[in-house]
Structures are given as C-alpha cells and as structure tokens.
Amino acid sequence: MSQLKGFLFPQTPTGVASLIPDPPWYYSGTWLTVEYRTNPDRIKALLPAPLELADEDPGRVAMVWADWQSCSTGGAEMLDPVRAQYAEAFLAVKVKFQGQTFTRIVHIWVDRDFSLGRGIHMGYPKKFGSIYQTRPFPYGPAPRLAPGGRFGASLTTYDRRIAQATITLREQVKTGGPTVNIYPLLHTRVLQSIEKGGGESLNELVTHKPAKAECGDPWVADAELALFESPTEELATLAVEEVVGGYYQQMGTVWDGGELLLDNRQGG
C-alpha cells in the first residue's frame, strides 16, 4: 500500500494534486476597507457561545476587499499566476473571549478553490463569489496612489450583487488606520458527523495570526458602501448605519499555523 500524501484532499502518492500545499503560506496584496457602524445586536446574533461583543465600539465593523498573490515555500506559484492570484471580500467584527479582543470574520467570499481550501483548514466561513476592486497604475486612466485617487469594489454571489463600495484617497498616515481587522483572528472549525443525527465531528475554537507581516502606511479615504439583499446571503442584515471611513493599504504576510483554544463539540 502506498503512503498517500497531501495537506488536504485529494491525497496521492506524490501529494502534487492536493488542493493546497503544506504551510507556510506567503501572501502579498492590497486591502480596500470600509469601516462602518451597525446594530451590535445583529453582530451578537452571529456569535457562538462563549464569544461576546467587544467592549469598545462593538457595532463598528469592516467590509474588506483583498486582491492577493499567494504562494508556498519556494514561490513557484508566482511564476504560474493562475495558481497565485485570487480575490476575496469579507466582513470583520470585533469580539471578546476570556477578556481578550479578537477579530472574527463572519462572512467571506473568494474566487479560487485553493483559497477556499485554506479557509476550510483555518476556520474561515468561505464561499465562492465574484470579487473585483480597482487597481492603481502610474499611467493611463487608472487611479494613482495619491490624494484624490478613486477606487471602486464589488461583490457578487449567484449572479446578484450584494456589496459595492467607493473610496477617495485623502492622505497617507502613520497612525489612524483601520481599527477592526487588526487583532488576532478567532475562528471556528466545524464539520458534521457522516452519521445522520451524529452531531459534530469537529467544532474547534481556534486563533491565529501572521507569523510575519509587513505593511505600507495606510491611506485614509472618504468612503461609500452599499449592501444589498439576496436570497442566499445574509450580509445585508448587518446594515450600514454610519460609514466611519475608508482605507487602502498594501501588505505582505506569512501564515504558519494557529492555536486550539476550545473544543466545542457536543459531548466533546
């Protein structure tokens, strides 16, 4: 019998066909962020026990569009960009667990299967979507990374647009950047038993953060954000009550594992 290899499915004698390679995973990209306030009770309804709302400004959340290039050790994917480039959009909230503040992604969409596979492992609630954001270039009609630069972003699922945003850059700052998506992440890895009525095979509360990160100074921007109803999504339940601000930032990170905090399985 062969010893099958592969960090995730499918496992083969070589492991080459695995949906995702072994960590660490390396990322370079941009974040277009709109922070706004919503009804804290709507956030609370999405939190499993024993998580609580953050103490400070609990209704402040962040809608983020990310344009990524990622790779495994050696960087081979960078020279085969169909395996490296992807986009995602997500809604981040602040939560409290055992007195510490964390960031939790309550909704997230991606456009590549390898990113979805990483989400399965890391505890992100990833689904497929169509995600776009304006890219800056130094020539032609594209916006510049300069005051007055205007950027747009959109998110569509099942052929329905559920979010759109525009930002207009004001200034690049050393302090005063995003405030929601800055804490260690707190996610839930969950899998139901294959036996009907068997409960959960996996329900773990986990935390993780970059093993290494580098970021450019954020741009502060004026922002507009609209969320739309959908028969298959619940993003619009976190309705926009007040747009706080927009941000644009370039960054690089490395992910190499997390920490198990709690086994939440029924009977576990």
Q: What are phi and psi of 232, to 5 degrees?
A: -120, -5
Q: Which of 121, 140, 133 is CA-nearest to residue 85?
A: 133
User: What is the C-alpha separation between 86 and 77, in angstroms, rounded?
Assistant: 12
Which structure tokens are listed for 151? 């950027």
The 8 Å CB, 24+ separation contacts for 163-166 are: 163/63, 163/89, 163/225, 163/226, 163/227, 163/228, 163/235, 164/225, 164/226, 164/228, 165/32, 165/34, 165/63, 165/65, 165/223, 165/224, 165/225, 165/226, 165/246, 166/223, 166/224
* pLDDT tens digits in sequence order for the chain, 268 residues long: 679 999 999 999 999 999 999 999 999 999 999 999 999 999 999 999 999 999 999 999 999 999 999 999 999 999 999 999 999 999 999 999 999 999 999 999 999 999 999 999 999 999 999 999 999 999 999 999 999 999 999 999 999 999 999 999 999 999 999 999 999 999 999 999 999 999 999 999 999 999 999 999 999 999 999 999 999 999 999 999 999 999 999 999 999 999 999 998 864 4
